[in-house]
Amino acid sequence: MNSEDFLGSKQKYRMTNQRQVILEEIRKVNTHPTADEVYKMVRKRLPRISLGTVYRNLEILSTRGLIQKIGPVSSQMRVDGITKNHYHLRCIYCGSVKDAPIDPTENLENAIRERSDYNIIGHKLEFIGICPNCGKKENLSHKKAEDIGN
Amino acid sequence: MNSEDFLGSKQKYRMTNQRQVILEEIRKVNTHPTADEVYKMVRKRLPRISLGTVYRNLEILSTRGLIQKIGPVSSQMRVDGITKNHYHLRCIYCGSVKDAPIDPTENLENAIRERSDYNIIGHKLEFIGICPNCGKKENLSHKKAEDIGN
DNA sequence: CTAGGTGCAAATCATTTGCCGGGGC
DNA sequence: GCCCCGGCAAATGATTTGCACCTAG
């Protein structure tokens, strides 16, 4: 689960003021802000910060495991002709998506229903990993962090 | 799980030729094509189709439950200050994300490891539902399909 | 005739990048 | 000096939308 391990990132980052403030603001709230919301929050303390800086730092902070990105694992929508619920397997290197060889279970939804007041209508489970094909390449040469989705 | 049930969509759609071809092409492959890939596939049979039409029809087809969208449930990335793995609860109406009151399990990953040759490094589980607040509104007036993410 | 459909181009939205000056080590 | 950094604006990429025409019922 720790990105650092497989990213082979050799860079050393400083904890700059902007970076620190961004991190503090994210930790301060118990919501899951969008990049733009983070920008707005941070700007109250650092009025001259730019949105680009926020994005750059969110990227770095999540690479370092200090925060976590939710949502778009890769930026493109994909479609699936099979409508019955099933799980997916996504490769962090090539971004490909395959069906996971495991059947969905109602148990998960039931567990949530007991504990929350949401009207649950479904769930999405996605496994993140490295596909055999990319796994080979990975052993030969370490890819740069930028090549990797999420 | 069937979108039609809660979307309250009153529109009547025709199964036009373009729509039909798009659906056929998606069903023909066992991959999970992006919108652009669908466009390319369909264009072999309907050279004059536009990307806009593809998007419009993917939207309609998934609203009708004939295909399924994977990935970006809503299009914006969100961040999370809590780095230990946990699950999320997303409201289809307002798009808000909360932490799910259920602890992650290694079982899921282990199940996959036994059955696939992927190097699994994590998993994401997201419950889709209607938050109590939006649930109230929903009862008062049925929202239009466009208001609903995914 | 009315509503849904389409192609096309322009617009929008989130995110990324290039440039360039500045500061830490 | 080298490299990371941040502000800014411009670029990019995916998706959406406005417009004008078309066609089925």
User: pLDDT class for B78, splitting at 50, 70, 90?
Assistant: confident
Contact flag B78-A33 (C-beta cutoff 8 Å): yes
Give yes or no for residue B7 having a pLDDT over 60.
no
For every one of its 150 residues, what pLDDT tens digit does chain A have, with 9 covering 90 and above? Answer: 333 322 334 567 889 999 999 999 999 988 888 999 999 999 999 999 999 999 999 998 888 878 888 765 566 777 877 767 788 888 877 777 888 989 888 888 999 999 999 988 888 888 888 888 877 655 544 433 333 333
Measure in Å the smallest separation between the Cα of A116 and chain B Cα atoms: 7
Please report, as a single letter, which amino acid is at residue A146: E
pTM summary value? 0.68
Give yes or no for residue B24 having a pLDDT over 60.
yes
DSSP secondary structure of chain A:
--HHHHH---------HHHHHHHHHHHH-SS--BHHHHHHHHHHH-TT--HHHHHHHHHHHHHTTSSEEES-SSSS-EEES--S---EEEETTT--EEE-SS---HHHHHHHHHH--SEEEEEEEEEEEE-HHHHHHHHHSPPPGGGS--
Question: Beta strand A119-130 with A88-91: parallel, antiparallel or unpaired?
Answer: parallel
From CA B33, how far away is CA B21, in angstroms rounded?
15
**How many CB atoms lie under 10 A from the CB of residue B90?**
26
Contact flag A78-B91 (C-beta cutoff 8 Å): no
From CA B97, how far away is CA B126, in angstroms rounded?
9
Q: pLDDT value at position A73?
A: 54
Instruction: Encode A2-27 in three state secondary structure.
Output: CHHHHHCCCCCCCCCHHHHHHHHHHH
DSSP secondary structure of B98-117:
EE-SS---HHHHHHHHHH--
Nearest nucleotide (C1') to alpha carbon of A16? D5
**How many CB atoms lie under 10 A from the CB of residue B113?**
15
Contact flag A67-B83 (C-beta cutoff 8 Å): yes
Nearest CA to B84 out of A1, A6, A126 is that of A1
Which residues in chain A touch residue B51, judged by CB atoms under 8 angstroms apart?
none
Asked if strand C contacts A17 at the CB level, meaning under 7 A, the answer is: no
Do B65 and A83 touch, CB atoms closer than 8 A?
yes
Measure in Å the smallest separation between the Cα of B80 and chain A Cα atoms: 5
Q: pLDDT value at position A129?
A: 82
Q: pLDDT value at position B136?
A: 64
User: pLDDT class for B105, splitting at 50, 70, 90?
Assistant: confident
